Amino acid sequence: MAALLLAGCAAPSGAPPLTFTKPVVLLGEVHDHPQQHALRLQAFRAHLATGARPALLMEQFDRQHQAALDAAMAAQRAPFMAPDVPAVVAAGQGGRGWHWPFYEPFIALAMQQGLPLEAVNVGRDEARAVMRDGLAAHGFDAALPEPVLATLAAAIRDSHCGMVDATMARRMALAQVARDQQMARALVRHAARGAVLLAGNGHVRTDVGAPRWLDAATRARSEAIGFLEEGDPTRAFDRIVFTPPHARPDPCAAMRAPAPR
């Protein structure tokens, strides 16, 4: 792993600049962290300023909506002086769980520069089918090493505050693998022109995430950049950007609260 890139308490303009060193870039995130999104946007803009024209791949859109997403992008003619980003988000049926002001500037840049925009998430219904039937039944690679499955299952249990049992966590891990493989396939398809993936840190981990499903040639042209809060012990990235923790309520409090009678 490369030396850590520290983004301290300053505003993004005062943080060390982040530059991409490979044409295929996997950008992690803590989904609700404003500074991380600002730093990533700053780096994406700088990357485009070099003349790069990568595909923009987004976890925030489910792959079954790709045709509608393409149609919405094509409906807006160049020059895109005032891109109608909300129309694109609506066409792609962007999930309600995302804070779209974080992602809309990326979409606007893709529209302004004529970049491909690809939906790379495996949606909830498809994920449930994978959990029920297994990876191979839905066209994914089932050759999953036990340490990878165990690591993903443990991370899922942690993220669900220990409220998911071991069996369910392993099934949910299969859905995570399907998403990672889908992201990797999209990265490979766009590797020749370059690609930038926006996804959660778990998806860009080099040990268990999308990078491990890349072919050797694409992996050599890629870098996985984790955006972590200070104190996070995870190190399975090519580079790491640390930011101060974002103030938020205890995510486990509601899950642990007794159900109302």
What confidence score (pLDDT) does residue 108 get?
Answer: 94
pLDDT, position 254: 64
Q: Specify the pLDDT at position 252.
A: 86
Distances in whole angstroms, Cα of residue 119 to Cα of each of 42, 133, 236:
22, 23, 25
pLDDT tens per residue across all 261 residues of the chain: 543 454 433 334 455 689 999 999 999 999 999 999 999 999 999 999 999 999 999 999 999 999 999 999 998 765 555 789 999 999 998 767 899 999 999 999 999 999 999 999 999 999 999 999 999 999 999 999 999 999 999 999 999 998 899 999 999 999 999 999 999 999 999 999 999 999 999 999 999 999 999 999 999 999 999 999 999 999 999 999 999 999 988 878 766 656 556
- The token duo for 224 is 């996985």
129: left (phi over 0), alpha (psi -120 to 50) or beta: alpha
User: pTM for this one?
Assistant: 0.91
**Which residue in 81, 80, 101 sits closest to 89, CA to CA?**
101
Stretch (H or E) spanning 106: helix 104-113
Q: Secondary structure of 47-81 in the HEC alphabet? A: HHHCCCCCEEEEEEEEHHHHHHHHHHHHCCCCCCC
Residue whose structure tokens are 């976890």? 59
- pLDDT given at position 248: 87
Q: What is the pLDDT of residue 97?
A: 85
